[in-house]
């Protein structure tokens, strides 16, 4: 590639100068040459590349029409025959981050060219990034734009020159934490022993699977007057109305459902069943109270021990559910329960 490389650049409506939140519903559009931060970026390439096109889309329009926008933008980008794609930087802005991550990952996969974006490490856009696209870290505020564009330009030049990109910490990009299978020269049995011998000698060793880190969730305060409280029943045991009207699946489920229970004192084998594939279902099918204790909770409500049983059962099937799905569902359920002014939850799990 003796000539200057051709860059196509994406940014949201704000950075493209179209407008602020008032223009967040603008559909995809494009400009010839560099616009907004792409101008400074082009300068930083030092003559080695030019931005031939800038594409843009309103953040809200992107969020609500992602599939359509992906396709449209891809065509606009492809038609400019780029060698490289850059998006953002999105800094701390969630919608812009998700849009940048989405389009950058799509371009990397479909057009098979180097594709780089940048945003804050906790931007929700990180969760939708996928290799072979790259994302560089930034601060939350856009005050460091100049520094970020310098880093992106250096990184992009490295990629285009075919240089090998090494460890994320060394090279300055955000590791996506994605695990892939490889075939090692040695078997697991052979790799184990040097590690164990080192551990036995209290020497340093590196585990092959770092333990998952889970965030510390501060415990909500205790319920003061439980006799006045509304308690909801939530479960991952897969209990659903008989016939499974919404087709809850037995594994890798990503959805949850709510079913009315205010008319019920009890779950029985005629009214409900379970579809969870991760445990032997016979016991719960015979009596679903064995997984979701409605009979007891309803009795306690009648006795005045608790104020009220919430009107709906929230249910999903947690079998082989990824932690990301489970976390998302938990957040969604919590939102719903908060709106319904539920005070406490009994969550049952198999």
Structure tokens at 169: 């910490």
Binding to other proteins (CB under 8 A) within 115-154 occurs at: 130-131
Instruction: Report the nearest approach of other proteins to the CB of residue 69 (Å).
Output: 22
Q: Which stretch binds other proteins (CB under 8 A): 14-22, 114-122, 155-163, 285-293?
A: 285-293
Q: Which is nearer to other proteins, 3 or 186 (CB)?
A: 186
Stretch of 80-88, 113-121, 143-151, 202-210 lying at the interface with other proteins (CB under 8 A): 202-210
Q: Interface with other proteins by CB under 8 A: which range of 34-42, 97-105, 141-149, 292-300?
A: 292-300
Rounded distance between C-alpha atoms, residue 132 and residue 100, angstroms: 14
Contacts of 265 (CB under 8 A, 6+ apart): 294, 295, 298
- Considering the complex, state which of residue 46 and residue 212 has its C-beta at the smaller distance from other proteins: 212
Q: What is the dihedral of CA 314, 320, 323, 327, to 10 degrees?
A: -10
**Which 3 state secondary structure label does DSSP give 277?**
coil
Give the CA count within 13 Å in the CB-facing half-sphere of 8. Answer: 27
Residue 330: CA atoms inside 13 Å, Cβ hemisphere, count? 12
**Dist CA 109 CA 316 (whole Å):** 33
CB of residue 168 to other proteins, shortest distance in Å: 5
Angle between helices 145-160 and 37-44 (to 10 degrees): 50
Q: Shortest approach of other proteins to residue 278 CB, angstroms?
A: 7
Task: Please state whether beta strands 115-119 and 134-137 pair in parallel, antiparallel, or not at all (unpaired).
Answer: parallel
Q: Please name every residue paired with 259 in a beta bridge, in sequence order, or none if there are none.
A: 313
Residue choice 2, 47, 162, 177 for contact with other proteins (CB under 8 A): 177
CB of 6 to other proteins, least distance (A): 26
Radius of gyration from C-alpha coordinates of the chain: 26
40 vs 300, which CB is nearer to other proteins? 300
Binding mask 203-222 for other proteins (x = CB under 8 A): --x-xxx-xx-xxxxxxxxx
| Residue from 33, 45, 44, 43 nearest 9 by CA | 33
**Window 45-84: residues binding other proteins (CB under 8 A):** none
* Size of the residue set binding other proteins (CB under 8 A): 80
Backbone angles phi, psi at 338, to 5 degrees: -70, -40
Decide the pairing of beta strands 239-241 and 272-274. Answer: antiparallel
Place of tokens 């919608």: 95
Residue from 1, 141, 196, 331 touching other proteins (CB under 8 A): that is: 196
350: contact with other proteins by CB under 8 A: yes
Nearer to other proteins, 46 or 280 (CB): 280
Which residue lies nearer to other proteins by CB, 162 or 188? 188
- Site for other proteins, residues 306 to 335, rule: CB under 8 A: 306, 320, 322-324
Whichever of 54 and 274 has its CB closer to other proteins, that residue is 274
Site for other proteins in 223-282 (CB under 8 A): 223, 226, 229, 231, 237, 278-282
Both tokens assigned to 175: 């590791």
CA pair distance 152, 143, nearest whole angstrom? 16
Smallest CA-to-CA distance from 315 within 297, 333, 331, 299 is with 333
Residues 13-52: x/- map of binding to other proteins (CB under 8 A)?
Answer: ----------------------------------------
């Amino acid at each position: 590639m003796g000539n200057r490389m051709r860059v196509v650049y994406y940014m949201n409506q704000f950075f493209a100068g179209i407008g602020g939140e008032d223009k967040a519903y603008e559909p995809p559009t494009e400009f010839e040459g560099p616009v907004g931060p792409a101008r400074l970026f082009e300068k930083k390439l030092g003559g080695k590349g030019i931005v031939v096109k800038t594409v843009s889309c309103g953040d809200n329009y992107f969020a609500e029409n992602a599939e359509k926008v992906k396709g449209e933008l891809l065509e606009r980008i492809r038609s400019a025959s780029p060698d490289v794609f850059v998006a953002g930087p999105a800094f701390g802005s969630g919608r812009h981050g998700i849009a940048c991550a989405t389009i950058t990952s799509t371009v990397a996969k479909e057009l098979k060219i180097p594709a780089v974006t940048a945003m804050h490490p906790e931007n929700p856009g990180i969760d939708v990034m996928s290799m072979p696209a790259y994302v560089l870290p930034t601060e939350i505020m856009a005050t460091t734009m100049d520094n970020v564009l310098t880093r992106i330009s250096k990184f992009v030049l490295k990629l285009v020159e075919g240089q090998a990109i090494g460890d994320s910490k060394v090279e300055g990009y955000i590791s996506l934490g994605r695990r892939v299978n490889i075939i090692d020269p040695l078997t697991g049995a052979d790799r184990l022993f040097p590690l164990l011998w080192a551990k036995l000698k209290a020497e340093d060793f590196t585990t092959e699977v770092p333990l998952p880190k889970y965030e510390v969730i501060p415990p909500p305060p205790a319920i003061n007057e439980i006799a006045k409280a509304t308690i909801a029943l939530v479960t991952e045991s897969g209990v659903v109305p008989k016939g499974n009207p919404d087709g809850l699946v037995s594994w890798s489920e990503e959805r949850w459902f709510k079913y009315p229970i205010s008319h019920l004192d009890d779950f029985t084998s005629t009214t409900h069943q379970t579809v969870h594939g991760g445990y032997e279902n016979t016991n719960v099918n015979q009596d679903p109270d064995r997984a979701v204790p409605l009979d007891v909770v309803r009795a306690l409500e009648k006795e005045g021990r608790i104020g009220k049983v919430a009107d709906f059962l929230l249910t999903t099937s947690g079998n082989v559910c990824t932690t990301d799905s489970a976390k998302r569902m938990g957040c969604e359920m919590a939102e719903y329960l908060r709106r319904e002014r539920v005070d406490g939850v009994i969550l049952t799990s198999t």
